[in-house]
A = this chain, B = another copy of it.
Amino acid sequence: MAGLIGLDWGTSSLRAYRYDGTGRIAETRARPWGIRQLPAGGYDAALADITAGWPALPRLACGMVGSRGGWREAPYLDLPADVARLGDALAGLRAADGMDVHLVPGLRDPDGPDVMRGEETQLLGALALQPELAAASSFILPGTHSKWAVVRDGAVCGFRTRMTGELFAVLRQHSILGATGVEADDDDAAFERGVAAARDSGAAGALGRLFSARALMLDGALAPASVSDYLSGLLVGEEFRAALADGLARRDTPLQLIGDAALCERYRRAAALFDIDLPPPVQDAAARGLWRIAVQAGIVSEEIHAC
């Protein structure tokens, strides 16, 4: 039987895709077993469980499972990286069930230096789904550690990690910006006000505007319950301001989101304040990327549909 099992295995979650021989996803499963919260029995037990009842198919995994602290390290591949170079650079291990698990390497930008692991597979998946972006485009992958990536001629040729999600969380939980005395309310206007403050911060940038979230509150100009959305807008807006300043995003090149719909929607609203009309995010990019890399590496051969 032809097909593939793809594993998107991160720090806090594990998703498995079973593909038929044409690359169609026949079944998807999810477990909370990120590499920091494995079940008893570790990686082998997690793999056995999430693939229980599935046929013995080739297996390809991306994400933190291939990091130094993961199952086995798949060393970073230096940029530029297209699907051919990634397909040639897979690492592998023999699981307890006697079969191989192939591992997609992360990418390293020597100019940062900067690293990504997992996002490279989403980027190649997005290019497979939207091949018109392969010539020249930029991508945003929002999250705890947001990535902004530049693609030229089908290859990832530069990227930057921004700690937006983590920074937001630690500032809200542990800094004076979280000391509002009230629960946060959704406030779209406060979010957009934060985006605008970042946009208008000029070359000085929005890091020096963090305290405005508190000063506006003390001033009675921002409701305590809205400080959270203002801060979120400030940090997301700063991503756009900085990316436009250093060329990670360009107004003459398509910009595309990849990721969770609700989070991406915030980025679309922020983009609008920069006069950028962002299309809806690419869905299932990791699943598509795993298949694409597996085909490239010869782990599976794509069947032609019988018509």
> Which positions in A face B, CB cutoff 8 Å?
68, 108, 112-115, 145, 160-163, 166-167, 170-171, 173-177, 202-208, 210-212, 215-216, 218-219, 221, 238-239, 242-243, 245-246
Q: A234 → chain B, closest Cβ, in Å?
A: 10
Asked if B219 and A113 make an inter-chain contact with CB atoms under 8 angstroms apart, the answer reads yes
Contact present for A163 and B112 (CB under 8 Å): no
- Closest Cβ neighbor of A213 among chain B residues: B163
Residues of B within 8 A of A145 (CB): 211
Q: Are B166 and A204 touching (Cβ within 8 A)?
A: no
- The listed residue (B176, B212, B239, B245) touching A114 by CB distance below 8 A is B212
- What copy number does this chain have within its complex? 2
Known: A202-B203, A204-B242, A207-B242. 17 other contacts (CB 8 A): A108-B219, A113-B216, A114-B211, A114-B212, A114-B215, A145-B211, A162-B207, A163-B210, A163-B211, A167-B175, A167-B210, A202-B245, A202-B246, A203-B246, A204-B205, A205-B206, A205-B207
Would you give the shortest CB distance from A112 to chain B, in whole angstroms?
Answer: 6
**How distant is A227 from chain B, measured CB to nearest CB, in Å?**
14
Nearest Cβ distance between residue A21 and chain B, in whole angstroms? Answer: 38
Set B162, B166, B176: member contacting A175, Cβ < 8 A: B166
Chosen A-B contacts, 15 in total, with CB atoms closer than 8 Å, are A112-B215, A113-B212, A113-B216, A114-B212, A160-B208, A163-B176, A170-B170, A170-B171, A170-B175, A173-B174, A174-B174, A202-B203, A207-B207, A208-B239, A208-B246
**Quick check: B203 and A206 within 8 Å, CB to CB?**
no
Task: Report chain B residues within 8 Å CB of A206.
Answer: 205, 207
- Complex contact A246–B204 (CB within 8 A): yes
**A212 is contacted by which of B112, B210, B245 (Cβ under 8 Å)?**
B112
- Whether B161 contacts A211 by the Cβ 8 Å rule is yes
Inter-chain contacts of A177 with B (CB < 8 A):
163
Query: How far does the alpha carbon of A294 sit from the alpha carbon of B221 in the complex, in Å?
Result: 33
The minimal Cβ–Cβ distance linking A222 to chain B, given in whole angstroms, is 10
CB distance from A248 to the nearest CB of B (A): 8
Chain B neighbourhood of A243, CB < 8 A: 204
**A181 CB to nearest B CB, Å:** 11
Q: Which of B161, B204, B205, B238 meets A215, CB within 8 Å?
A: B161
Query: Which residues of B sit under 8 angstroms from A163, Cβ to Cβ?
Result: 175-177, 210-211
| A96 → chain B closest CB, angstroms | 29
Residues of the B chain whose Cβ atoms lie less than 8 Å from the Cβ of A203: 202-203, 205, 245-246
**Complex Cα gap A145–B68 (Å):** 37
